[in-house]
């Protein structure tokens, strides 16, 4: 008898913890001819999905710094291509081994890469070798130490054309520069 009372008490507690059936659950269990037909034919009507016009196209790029001395250093690519106004996700890998092989990627206005690199060199390490006046700088990656990979995101210019990219670590600009082509 004691076992029976225990089981009944447990059952009542269990049912009470489940709570009452909500009105929406009752409505969903009722028969609906429209959904019953759709389920019978294994097709569920879906509203037309419109594309999200707020998302800009994303361009994912990879760039490597190669070489381990001033005579060998270079970017793996001398030009990169992106769509105007796209979100650019650049993964930059420094394949250098020795400590002076610190690199970055700085996107500049066309023909301004040398000016930006020299100004960054003058500012030095405290400014991450970036110029104080960023008028000609469109985007910049963090410095990548030897063996390190860094990422940067930036919006490509809206105006199609050619832009430059350069490493602003001292003396690297002479060999490490290229073009960003915006179409």
In a domain, 140, yes or no: yes
Give the structural domain span for 124: 59-182
147: alpha, beta or left, given left = phi > 0 and alpha = psi -120 to 50?
left
The residue count for the chain: 183
- Residue 44 within a domain: no
45: in domain: no
**C-alpha distances in angstroms, 80 versus 10, 62, 77?**
69, 9, 7
Strand pairing partners for 92?
Answer: 63, 150
Token digits of residue 107: 């996107």
- pLDDT score at 139: 97
Residue 5 reports pLDDT greater than 70: no
pTM above 0.85, yes or no: no
Tell whether 6 is covered by a domain.
Answer: no
CATH number of residue 119's parent domain: 2.60.40.420
d(CA 108, CA 102): 19
**pLDDT digits over 51-74, tens only?**
555 678 899 999 999 999 999 999
Residue 172 lies in a domain: yes
Task: Classify the phi-psi angles of 59: left when phi > 0, otherwise alpha if psi is within -120 to 50, otherwise beta.
Answer: beta
Q: Is residue 177 a part of any domain in this protein?
A: yes
Domains contained in the chain, number: 1
Can you tell me which residue has the tokens 């860094």?
150
94-115 tens-digit pLDDT? 999 988 899 999 999 999 999 9
Residues 6+ apart with CB under 8 A from 105: 63, 75, 90, 92, 140, 141, 152, 165, 166, 167
Asked whether residue 29 is domain-assigned, the answer is no
In-domain check, residue 51: no
């Amino acid at each position: 008898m004691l076992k029976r009372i225990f089981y009944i008490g447990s059952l009542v507690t269990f049912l009470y913890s489940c709570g009452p059936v909500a009105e929406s659950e009752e409505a969903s269990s009722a028969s609906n001819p429209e959904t019953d037909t759709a389920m019978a034919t294994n097709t569920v009507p879906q509203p037309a999905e419109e594309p999200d016009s707020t998302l800009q196209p994303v361009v994912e790029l990879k760039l490597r710094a190669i070489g381990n001395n001033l005579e060998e250093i270079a970017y793996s690519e001398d030009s990169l291509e992106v769509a105007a106004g796209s979100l650019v996700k650049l993964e930059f890998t420094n394949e250098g081994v020795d400590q002076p092989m610190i690199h970055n990627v700085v996107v500049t206005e066309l023909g301004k890469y040398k000016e930006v690199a020299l100004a960054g060199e003058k500012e030095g390490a405290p400014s991450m070798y970036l110029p104080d006046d960023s008028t000609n700088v469109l985007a910049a990656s963090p410095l990548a130490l030897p063996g390190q990979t860094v990422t940067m995101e930036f919006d490509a210019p809206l105006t199609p054309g050619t832009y430059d990219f350069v490493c602003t670590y001292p003396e690297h600009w002479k060999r490490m520069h290229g073009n960003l082509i915006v179409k």
